[in-house]
Amino acid sequence: MSGVLPLTPTLSPQTGSKQSPRPALAGRGENPRQREGEGSRSFVIAIDGPAASGKGTLACRLADRLGFAHLDTGALYRATAFLVLDPGGDPADPETAARAARRIDRQLLADPRLRGEVVAAAASTVAAIPAVRRALLELQRNFAAHPPAPAQGAILDGRDIGSVVCPAADVKLFVTASAEERARRRLEELRQRGATAIFEDVLQDLKERDARDTERRAAPLTAAPDAIVIDTTTLDADAVFKRAYNLIARALKEKEWKQ
Ligand code: CDP
């Protein structure tokens, strides 16, 4: 796929802080697998969940703490939608959308224009098109397997990471919350960015997007059978982080013991 190679080495709008001294738990020095001459393997964390469930915030914080690279895969679908909408295209048209998916570049992934709710709704339309998902699959897998240096691991957040993109991920989390709580958080986020929005509209948009994401045939939103579900309805960001970090710390330790 032509779009994959130029993007892969630096494709990380939210790569874990480059200032992070070392991955806090990735092996205190060299990776044990490297010691044994097996070559290094990336430690992959998959975080899935519905819109505004807090998975993006969690993924960023974990990436910072662990020194892992982070890929917000939702940005890929948002960028695809944006490239279709901008010249007045139809996000439901498979050819237009698939062409757009192949034209994404990394500057666009960090563009604030991707964050609006119109783009979000169109993102869930293009995301239901199998040719779009195919166009983005290799890129995501490549990022997981070869995160940008010096990261020894990758965190991908999205809808189908644990189920389709990285079914062999080392840790799979499914982060969820009630629709009302998610709408409250999204409203807050929108207001902080200076947008005017009404709770009922935000809730309605989220529910419609959840339904499209869950009911589509191509890689629907789902918790992988081996994912650990974290319901964040009554948890603040710190509590969610603590819970996730402890789970990951345990998994990292276990993997090292097995070396
Ligand atoms: O930030 P928020 O949770 O609202 O959405 P997002 O993660 O930016 O994703 C936007 C849309 O992209 C979702 O509603 C999905 O339709 C789609 N998406 C997907 O299908 N698969 C992914 N791995 C990530 C996002």
Average pLDDT over residues 103-130: 94
Q: Could you tell me the pLDDT band of residue 39, with boundaries at 50, 70 and 90?
A: low
Q: Where are the alpha helices (DSSP H) in the chain?
A: 4-7, 32-35, 55-66, 73-85, 94-101, 106-109, 117-126, 130-145, 179-192, 199-215, 237-257
Average pLDDT over residues 5-16: 39
pLDDT at 18: 31
C-alpha 230/C-alpha 238 separation (Å) is 13
pLDDT, tens digit, 9 for 90 and up, residues 140-188: 999 999 999 999 999 999 999 999 999 999 999 999 999 999 999 999 9
Pocket residue to mutate for ligand 1, from 136, 186, 213, most atoms within 8 A of Cβ = 213
Residue type, 146: H
Q: Whose CA is nearest to atom 6 of ligand 1?
A: 74
Contact 232, 179 (CB under 8 A): no
Q: Whose CA is nearest to atom 17 of ligand 1?
A: 124
At residue 231, the 3 state secondary structure works out as strand
The pLDDT of residue 258 is above 60: no
Q: Which residue has the higher pLDDT, 38 or 50?
A: 50
pLDDT, tens digit, 9 for 90 and up, residues 216-230: 999 999 999 999 999
Q: Is the CB of 120 under 6 A from ligand 1?
A: yes
* Residue matched to tokens 């339309």: 125
C-alpha 100/C-alpha 84 separation (Å) is 6
